[in-house]
Structure 1
Amino acid sequence: MSKRIEINDLDIYYGDFKAVEGVTVDIEPRAVTAFIGPSGCGKSTVLRSLNRMHEVISGAWVDGEVLLDGANLYGPGVDPVNVRRQIGMVFQRPNPFPTMTIRENVLAGVLLNNRRMSKSDQDDLVERSLRGANLWNEVKDRLGVPGSGLSGGQQQRLCIARAIAVSPDVLLMDEPCSALDPISTLAIEDLIEELKTEYTIVIVTHNMQQASRVSDKTAFFNIAGTGKPGKLIEFDETAKIFSNPTVQATEDYVSGRFG
C-alpha cells in the first residue's frame, strides 16, 4: 500500500498571496517524515497540499508537482476526492462524527465511497481497522456507543482507524498529539511506529522530542517575516537534523533558540 511522494518545486498560493515557495522533497515509503518549524512557516499548508485538502479554502492553487509513485496529483482531470481516498488525513483535534457510533465512525469513509459490503465484511473491516489503530481491545464490547464518548486519546485512535479503513497509501497527521495528555501521546507515537511498516506517514509537529522519536527524516521549514512565503530550509535524516544540521537556522530552531 505504501507509496513514494515526490514534491517538485512546489509553490502554494491563496489568491495572489504566495504562502509557500519552492519546496522540493522526496518522501520515502514505509517511513515517517516529520515537518517542523515555527508557526506560520507553511508546514501544515504543505502537508494539506499532499492530498489537496488546502483547496477547501477558496482561491487556493499550486504551481509545481506532487507525484504519488510518479502520478501527478495535480494533473488534468485528477479528482481531489480520489486523491483523498489514497492519502488519508488525521487532524490536530480528534474529530469523530458525534452522532455516529464507534462502528459507524470506522465505516464512514468506506460507505461514503459507495462501497457496498455485507454485514460480515463490515464487521471484519471494523475489527481490522480498530486493531490496526490499537483500539480494538478497549472498545470491542461497546461498538454501538457514540465515538464522541471516548477519551481524547481513544478518539484520536478512532480517527486513525477511520482513516486506514479506506486502505490509503499515505497517512498525513497534522499535530495529532497536540490536544492529548502525555500517556495518550505515547500511545499515538507507538502506533505511528507500527503503522509505518504499511504506510507512508507524514507528520507535522511542534514537539521537537516527538519529531526526534517518531520520524526517520525531518524537514525544517522557516519564514523570513510576516507576509513572506514559507520555505523548506533543510531536509535530512532525523538524527542529522537534530545532532549536526547543515544550516544555522535549523540548529537554532531544534536547540530552542527561537520558535
Structure 2
Amino acid sequence: MAKRIEVSGLHAYYGQVHAIEDISMTIEPRSVTAFIGPSGCGKSTFLRTLNRMHEVIDGARVEGKVMLDTEDLYGSSVDPVAVRRVIGMVFQRPNPFPTMSIYDNVAAGLKLNGVRGKGKLDEVVERSLRGANLWNEVKDRLSRPGAGLSGGQQQRLCIARAIAVEPQVLLMDEPCSALDPISTLAVEDLVAELKSQYTIVIVTHNMQQAARVSDRTAFFNIAGTGKPGKLIEMDETSKIFTNPTEKATEDYITGRFG
C-alpha cells in the first residue's frame, strides 16, 4: 500500500511570491519523515504540494516534479482530487465535521467514494477507529457528535477519517501542536504503529518529537525575509540530531537560532 515519493526541482509560488525553491528529495515507503525548521521556511507549503493542496489557494502554483512511485502527480491527465484520495492529510488543529457523528466523520470519505452498504461501512469504521487507537473510547457513543470529543480524541478521529479511505501516504501538519502532552504521546504512538502500512510525513516544531517518531529528518531554512525556503539537509534522524553535515542544521537543533 505505501509508496515512495520522489521530488525533483520543486518550486512553489503564491502569486509573485516565491515560497520554496528547488527542492529535491526521496521519501521512503513505510517510514516516517519529519520536516523541521523555523517558522516561515516553507515546510507546510512543501507538505501541501505533495497532495496538490497548495493549488487550492488563489494564485498558487507549482513547478517541478512529484512522483508517487512511477506516477507524475502533476501530469496533465492527473485529477487533483484523485491525488488527495491516495495522499491523505491531517491538519494542525483537529477538524472533525462539526455537524456529523463520530461514525459519520469516519465514513464520510467512503460515502464520497460510493461505498453504501451498512455492513461494509460498519466494518471500515471500526477498523479505522481501531487503527487510530480510538475504538475502545468511542464504541458506545458512535452516534454522538465528533466535535464533542476531547482535542486529542478529535485528532485521532481525524486520523481515523484519513485512513478509512486506505491512502498510500499520510501527511501530518503539526498534528500535536494544539494537544496536551498525554494526547501528544497517544498520537506519536499511533504514528509509530501506522508506519508499517503507510508512508508518513510529519511537519513539527518539536525537536524531541522529530527525534522520537521519525526515521529521516529534513531541515528547511530561509535566507531572510522575503526569500524562498530551501531544503538545507536531509538524512537519517539519528545523524541529523547528533552529527549534521551543515552548520545551520546544528545551530537550529541546538537552539542557537530559530
> Where does residue 110 of structure 2 map in the other structure?
110
Which residue of the partner structure matches residue 254 of structure 2? 255
Percent pairwise identity: 75
Q: In the alignment, which residue of structure 1 is the partner of 2:90?
A: 90
d(CA) in 1 for partners of 2:178, 2:14: 27
- Is 2:181 aligned against 1:182? yes
Q: Tell me the residue number matched to 2:213.
A: 214
Cα distance in structure 2, aligned partners of 1:116 and 1:51 = 23
Unaligned runs of 5+ in 1: none
Give distance in 2, aligned partners of 1:255 and 1:26: 26
Give the partner amino acid of 2:174.
E
TM-superposed CA distance for 1:117, in Å, is: 2.5
Match of 1:100 in 2: 100
Within-5 A mapping of 1:30-109: 30-109=30-109
* Offset at residue 174 of structure 1 (A): 0.1
Does residue 150 of structure 2 align to residue 160 of structure 1? no
The one-letter code sitting in structure 1 at the alignment partner of 2:56 is: V
SS in 2 for 1:126: helix
Superposed displacement of residue 112, structure 1? 1.7
Distance 1:239 1:11 in 2: 28
Q: How many Å separate the matches in 1 of 2:84 and 2:165?
A: 10
Distance in 1 between residues matched to 2:239 and 2:69, nearest whole Å:
26
The offset of 1:229, in angstroms, is 0.3
- Provide, for residues 31-65 of structure 1, a one-character-per-residue CA deviation record: whole Å limited to 9, x for no partner: 00000000000010000000011112111111110
- TM score, norm. by length of structure 2: 0.99
Q: Which residue of 2 aligns with 1:205?
A: 204
How many pairs are equivalent?
258
Question: What is the correspondence of 1:129-148 to structure 2 with a 5 Å cutoff?
Answer: 129-148=128-147
Deviation at 1:116, TM superposition (A): 2.9
Matches within 5 A, 1:228-239: 228-239=227-238
Q: Judge which range, 16-25 or 188-197, deviates more.
A: 16-25
Counterpart code for 2:62: V
Q: Which moved more, 1:70-79 or 1:186-195?
A: 70-79
TM-score (norm: length of structure 1): 0.99
RMSD value over aligned CA atoms? Answer: 0.6
Contact 2:115 2:121 in 1 (8 A): no
Q: 12-21 vs 219-228, which deviates more?
A: 12-21
- Conservation of the 8 A alpha-carbon contact between 2:110 and 2:121: no
Query: 1: distance between equivalents of 2:222 and 2:28?
Result: 25
Q: Which runs of 5+ in 2 are unaligned?
A: none
* SS in structure 2 of the partner of residue 179 of structure 1: coil
Q: Deviations over 1:219-238 (max 9, x none)?
A: 00000011100000000000
